[in-house]
Structure 1
Amino acid sequence: MITLHYESRFGLARGAVFIDGRPHLYTEGYEYDQSLIKVNVRSVARLKSKAGGLAFLSLADGSEAVLDVPQEVFAKLVEGTALEIEIIAEARQEKRARARLIGAAQGEPRRITPVQSLKDRLLAQAAKLGEDIESIINFDCLDAAEDGALNPSGPLSQGGYLSIERTRALIACDVDSAGGEGVLTPKAFAKACNARAVSDIGRRLRLSGLAGLVVIDLIGRRHDADRLRQLLLSGFGPEADKLIIGPVGKFGTLEFVRPWGATPLMDTIRSPVRAAHLLLREAIKRAEGEPGRLLTLRAPAAVLDIIRPLLAASHDPLSAIIRLEAAVKPEVIVT
């Protein structure tokens, strides 16, 4: 069973997709994001420059992206020309967004694909995971999916633990059998932990948005590589054909590459948009607990600059009782 949990208020939204009671997708941000560097967005861009074997693009909204093309195509590109492109990976940490070349274009840089709501984008992702999607709203589910997106490490069902840590070079995963109970022998329990971890890694990476080179440190040294590979592919579902999987190493590691896509939620922790969203969510909770009281949102100027136009454009009744005040630390004051 697939369920979509979605909430939108003040022009900001968040949504989560659950399959059989477990979160698989989570996203948040502007309800209608105008950005041209979102995955699958097509636009006409200008080839700004070429350096070090890379082609840099300038997009219509002032953002930049790196063009992903073979060297034989790269050599023929001329700076200043207009190109139709599609974003294949969003910006993350110190990495620019990446785009694929569709072809030559005419005219000024501009958007081609229409702006979709966050809900429609999430539904399109959910449709790849299965049919019969039921839309409901459960705030506990949204919070649980958000927590899973920010903290992909956690216990495995029926015992064991899967740790997922992001480094500069790769995603390091460790399977631990600590806390195992039951009738299984230590060797059999370790084997079961490995199987559960490999089966669930796809869901956790999809939920958190982590990708790139992934290394799983399995328990033990001798493994059924074919079975682990099948479990890994099955866990990724429709994404499986995009994976590049290596053999199980002699030290008991399973390595694979998952292409980057959307920006991981953990990369947005310090963004003004997320800070604004969290502050407004807190204001809504406080207003429900103490109706009719005046709310003062205190935050840095960059955060207030995002909230101010959202309140001005909103017909939400809370807009009338919200005041904004510059401060170093974001907080909601009820008076």
Structure 2
Amino acid sequence: MSRRTFFIDEGLGETRGGVLLDGRPERLLIQRADDNPRLALGARLRARVAHVEPALSMAFLDLGEGAEATVSFKPDARPRQGEALEVEIRTEPRLGKLATARLIGPAQGTPALLESAPTLLDHLRHMAGEGDPVTGRIARQLADEAEAEALEVIHPLPGGGTIAIEPTRALTAIDVDVGERKGNEAKRVTRQANLAALAVAARVLRLKGLGGLVVFDMAGRGHDGAALMAAARAAFNPDNPGVSIGPISRFGTIELTVPRRGRPVTEILTEGAGGPSARTLGARLVRRLEAEAMAAPGGRLVATCAPAVAEAAKPALSLLAARIGARFEVKANASLAWEQIEVHAR
């Protein structure tokens, strides 16, 4: 039976929490000090209808303080422009898309946050069950490992082979590669790789926070459709309700849809770029300084990084100075590689 545990890493300006499935990262939640609480999953708000699109059965909402969302409506329940509504955030915003909300009912007054979203701990317990989270140094290590895996494109399969997970604007494509997986019968090897790919991909998609349309390009030909469907249902069961899985096609592909809820972790970490963003690297810089400060109590610390990373780290560095004192210096060096961070005590 699968076992889930969870952890919370309390950083300066950033908290990372996650779920482990049989010891492997399955979920990663990231909350940053500058996140907008009005756009957090589960937040309840009083909103104003800013614009109505009857053809799309959709209304655009003003949530206050610059936050926006959309809400769908039935043809016989069209809201009026300027009307106040009580809503709950159903999916967080992602690149190029507004948050979506669930209509609760009519309201009175100006846009306001009525009830904060569940805490990160609440979300983790909903995903993993009750219990106490792992904290401290072990949690930081687990969060670092989960973050690194979430940013990878190629993921190994147990027994050999790999999957490549690549999101696009329209869908997430997953390619299954048998690679050097060993076995005497090619058909059996391919079948085992495909079954393993479904289980690994389901876990990693949850880790990355990816949803929507997902297309698997399965390895080989002449697939056992019934076995693949059963494996897919089992692998994606934790994502229910809302998962829909189609049969394998004559082209060897399986299509499914997975509900979107939180903002994709990969988007948070990269902010739409190819690699880690300055904000993500700034958090790493602060964690490195904090770890070095614990290893060298009273020592003077010097960190060197790219200029944009140093700038992004400034808010958290102020918090670090309040915790350990102003005994560190951050030097910006434009000649360093983007992800290069050097920290030492002197």
Shorter-chain TM-score: what band?
0.7 to 0.9
Shift of 1:118: 2.8
Q: Distance in 1 between matches of 2:25 and 2:343?
A: 33
Partner deviation per Cα, 1:12-54 (whole Å, 9 max, x = no partner): 2112211211111112232795521121221111111124634
Q: How big is each residue's C-alpha offset from its partner over 1:41-78, in whole Å with a ceiling of 9 and x where there is no partner?
A: 211111111246342111133211122334443xx211
Q: Percent of counterpart pairs with the same letter?
A: 33
- Code of the residue aligned with 1:64 in structure 2: it is E
Q: Does 1:285 align with 2:291?
A: yes
* Partner residue in 2 for 1:218: 218
Which residue of the partner structure matches residue 155 of structure 1? 156
Per the alignment, residue 135 of structure 1 pairs with: 134
Stretch of structure 1 that moved more, 117-126 or 210-219: 117-126
Q: Structure 1 residues 83 and 36 mapped into 2: Cα distance closer, same or farther (>3 Å)?
A: same
SS in 1 for 2:199: helix
2:176 corresponding residue in structure 1: 175
Matches within 5 A, 1:26-65: 26-30=28-32, 34-51=36-53, 53=56, 54-65=58-69
Once the two structures are TM-superposed, the CA of residue 201 in structure 1 deviates from its matched residue by 2.1
| Match 2:95 to one of 93, 96, 100 | 93
Contact 2:41 2:117 in 1 (8 A): no
* Aligned position for 1:23: 25
1:197-216 aligned within 5 A: 197-216=197-216
Counterparts of 1:79 and 1:324 in 2: how far apart (Å)?
51
CA RMSD of aligned residues (A): 2.9
Distance 2:256 2:90 in 1: 19
* Mapping of residues 247-266 of structure 1, within 5 Å: 247-266=247-266
Partner AA of 1:234 in structure 2: A
Deviates most, 27-36 or 141-150? 27-36
| Structure 2 residue identity aligned to 1:282 | R
Residue 307 (str. 1) matches residue 295 (str. 2) = no
Please state how far the C-alpha of 1:309 moved relative to its aligned partner.
Answer: 6.4
1:324: how far off? 6.7
Structure 1 pair 31/296, CA: closer, same or farther in 2 (3 Å)?
same
In the alignment, which residue of structure 1 is the partner of 2:114? 112
**Structure 2 length normalisation: TM-score?**
0.83
- Residue 121 of structure 1 and its aligned partner are, at CA, apart by 2.9
User: 1:138-167, CA deviations, whole angstroms, 9 ceiling, x for partnerless residues?
Assistant: 233222211222225311111121111111
Tell me the distance in 2 between the aligned counterparts of 1:297 and 1:115.
Answer: 37
Sort the Cα spacing of 1:2 and 1:188 in 2 relative to 1 into closer, same or farther, 3 A.
Answer: same
Q: Report the Cα distance in structure 2 between the residues aligned to 1:4 and 1:119, rounded to whole angstroms.
A: 9
Q: Which moved more, 1:263-272 or 1:164-173?
A: 263-272
- Going from structure 1 to structure 2, the CA distance change for 1:310 and 1:289 (only over 3 Å counts) comes to closer
The answer as to whether partners of 2:42 and 2:118 remain within 8 angstroms in 1 is no
The letter of the residue matching 2:111 is P
Structure 2, unaligned runs of 5 or more? 272-276
CA contact (8 A) 2:37 2:116 kept: no
- Secondary structure, counterpart of 1:158 in structure 2: coil
Q: Which residue of 1 aligns with 2:274?
A: none
Helix, strand or coil at the partner of 1:10:
coil
Contact 1:32 1:117 in 2 (8 A): no
- Displacement of 1:326 in angstroms is 7.7
Tell me how far apart the structure 1 counterparts of residues 302 and 119 of structure 2 sit (CA, whole Å): 28
1:210 partner SS: coil
Per-residue deviation, 1:219: 1.5
Contact kept, 8 Å, 2:248 with 2:255, in 1: the verdict is yes
How many pairs does the alignment contain? 326
CA distance in 1, matches of 2:126, 2:325: 32
Partner of 2:9: 7
Letter in 1 for 2:121: K
What residue identity is the alignment partner of 2:176?
V
Query: Counterparts of 1:90 and 1:280 in 2: how far apart (Å)?
Result: 27
Alpha-carbon separation, structure 1, partners of 2:101 and 2:112: 15
> 3-state SS of the aligned residue for 1:280?
helix
